[in-house]
């Protein structure tokens, strides 16, 4: 079983890592730094869980081979063997799928940014449709969400929105959604009922703990403060609590205005910046990997990943995996598992 010995899942390497961590945790000074110790304990628990699962799968496969040797002389045992093989196949498929969620931050929360493309009201309405779609998806998964920044469109929809999503594997799943989403429909804003094409971009970043080493030089950051926009009346901020952060080396701009204090908005802006910088590094790695493999792939935030067609026919199709459905209403209501699962399975194949 090649997956166990190398390639996607290096079982011997993981076993060595477990042994090394087990030595660390018995050192007398292990708990001198509680935060680091806690992080290493979580890492150890995760590795042990993975190793035990694959060890169990390998043991069951060995037992099945022995059962097969016995079944050649005992026809009555064939039904038992078939049942075990089916169970092993299902378990292997699940383990392979889990490998796609083995990234450094996959198990944690995510920050998603939705940005309307060119096209004015049409694109802004599409961006708001995507906002609802991901909020519904998160709700169905039992995840907690918080809209931390949103800019309304002039006539309808939104120009942009930033959402924090908290839940197990939120980032691992939402990684599949990063890119440009295309909508084709009869415009509700066109008096001539003509067909329009709209675009919106989705950014996805992990929520990274402060102790993780993402270097940000304070001298590279410029921060402006301004009055938060509100609905009017008592909701309008009287003090300058909103924050706009400029990271000069990367050109990243982050705006946060939904928290009650300037300090809270500043902390949130830094958190988003850390996630964006991590994603930039991951994109560079992906581009280099594609270059080495000879693939004509440009991995960036603007890559079109999916088309949603509401007219003249009904279809949603992922351009990376060819996964498609004829029920766009369900997709826009948050049923994204078909596309997310297809993309994750594709990642396992590419990594191998």
For residue 3, the tally of other CB atoms under 10 A from its CB is: 18
Domain membership of residue 247 (yes or no) is: yes
- Please report, for the domain that includes residue 296, its CATH number: 3.30.70.1660
Residues 177 and 259 in one domain: yes
Residues 84, 120, single domain; the answer is: no
Nearest one of 204, 184, 198 to 301, comparing CA atoms? 204
Q: Are residues 124 and 270 in the same domain?
A: yes
Residue 352: both structure tokens together: 């191998």
Asked if 255 and 126 sit in the same domain, the reply is yes
User: What is the pLDDT averaged over residues 240-253?
Assistant: 87
104 lies in some domain: no
Structural domain ending residue among the three candidates 78, 99, 120: 99
Range picked from 9-18, 34-43, 328-337 for highest mean pLDDT: 328-337
Q: Nearest Cα to 268, choosing from 243, 302, 238?
A: 243
In a domain, 155, yes or no: yes
Note whether 58 and 160 are same-domain residues: no
Q: How many C-beta atoms lie closer than 10 Å to residue 80's C-beta?
A: 14
> Considering its fold, how many domains does the chain have in total?
2
pTM over 0.85: no
- Three-state secondary-structure class, residue 312: coil
DSSP 273-293: HHHHHHHHHHHHHHHHHHHHH
Widest distance between CA atoms in the chain: 85
First to last CA, the chain: 13
Mean pLDDT of 222-248: 68
Same domain, 134 and 93: no
| Sheet strand arrangement including 242-247 | 221-226, 242-247, 252-256
Q: How far is the CA of 6 from the CAs of 60, 143, 351, in angstroms?
A: 19, 34, 11
User: Each residue of 112-136: pLDDT tens digit?
Assistant: 999 999 878 999 999 999 999 999 9
| Residue environment code for 180-202, b if the CB has 16+ CB neighbours within 10 A, otherwise e | bbbbbbebeeeeeeeebbbbbbb
Same-domain pairing of 13 and 153: no
Q: Which of 99, 129, 157 is the last residue of a domain?
A: 99
- Which pLDDT band, with edges at 50, 70 and 90, does 5 fall under? very low
Q: Are residues 93 and 114 in the same domain?
A: no
> Residue holding tokens 């110790």?
37
**Between 241 and 109, whose confidence is greater?**
109
CA dist., res. 18 & res. 54, Å (int): 14
Q: Which two tokens stand for residue 222?
A: 């410029």
Q: Which of 58, 77, 99 is the last residue of a domain?
A: 99
Q: What is the mean pLDDT of residues 70-81?
A: 70
Helix (H) / strand (E) element for 152: namely: strand 144-152
- At residue 192, the pLDDT reads 81
**Residue 105 resides in a domain:** no
Looking at the structure, tell me whether residues 70 and 144 fall in a common domain: no
Question: What is the band of 4 on the pLDDT scale with cuts at 50, 70, 90?
Answer: very low
Q: What is the CATH number of the domain that holds 89?
A: 1.20.58.410
Tell me, yes or no, whether 285 and 334 share the same domain. yes
Give the pair of three-digit tokens for residue 70. Answer: 């016995």
pLDDT tens sequence across 273-327: 888 888 888 777 667 656 654 544 443 344 789 999 999 999 999 999 999 999 9
119: left (phi over 0), alpha (psi -120 to 50) or beta: left
Q: Domain containing 234: what range? A: 110-351
Q: Is 138 exposed, middle or buried (0-12, 13-18, 19+ CB in 10 A)?
A: buried
| 156 occurs within a structural domain | yes
Question: Does one domain contain both 126 and 161?
Answer: yes
Q: Are residues 203 and 312 in the same domain?
A: yes
User: Quick check: 251 pLDDT over 50?
Assistant: yes
């Amino acid at each position: 079983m090649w997956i166990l010995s190398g390639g996607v899942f290096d079982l011997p390497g993981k076993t060595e890592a477990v042994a090394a961590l087990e030595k660390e945790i018995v050192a007398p000074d292990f708990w001198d730094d509680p935060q680091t110790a806690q992080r290493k304990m979580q890492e150890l628990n995760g590795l042990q869980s993975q190793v035990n699962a694959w060890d169990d799968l390998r043991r069951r496969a060995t037992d099945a081979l022995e059962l097969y040797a016995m079944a050649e002389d005992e026809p009555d045992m064939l039904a038992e063997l078939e049942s075990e093989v089916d169970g092993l196949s299902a378990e292997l498929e699940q383990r392979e799928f889990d490998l796609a969620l083995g990234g450094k931050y996959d198990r944690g929360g995510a920050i998603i940014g939705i940005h309307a493309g060119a096209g004015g009201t049409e694109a802004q309405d599409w961006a708001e449709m995507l906002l609802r779609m991901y909020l519904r998806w998160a709700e169905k998964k039992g995840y907690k969400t918080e809209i931390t920044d949103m800019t309304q469109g002039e006539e309808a929809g939104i120009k942009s929105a930033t959402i924090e999503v908290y839940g197990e594997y939120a980032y691992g799943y939402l990684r599949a959604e990063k890119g440009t989403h295309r909508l084709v429909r009869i415009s509700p804003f066109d008096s001539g009922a003509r067909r329009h094409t709209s675009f919106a971009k989705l950014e996805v970043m992990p929520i990274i703990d402060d102790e993780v080493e993402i270097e940000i030089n304070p001298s590279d950051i410029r921060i402006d403060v301004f009055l938060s926009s509100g609905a009017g009346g008592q909701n309008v901020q009287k003090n300058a609590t909103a924050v706009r952060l400029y990271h000069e080396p990367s050109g990243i701009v982050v705006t946060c205005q939904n928290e009650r204090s300037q300090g809270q908005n500043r902390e949130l802006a830094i958190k988003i910046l850390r996630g964006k910088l991590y994603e930039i590094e991951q994109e560079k790695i992906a581009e280099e990997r594609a270059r080495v493999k000879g693939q004509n792939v440009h991995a960036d935030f603007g890559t079109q990943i999916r088309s949603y067609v509401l007219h003249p026919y009904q279809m949603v199709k992922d351009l990376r995996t060819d996964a498609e459905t004829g029920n766009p209403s369900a997709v826009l209501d948050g049923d994204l598992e078909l596309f997310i699962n297809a993309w994750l399975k594709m990642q396992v194949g590419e990594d191998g």
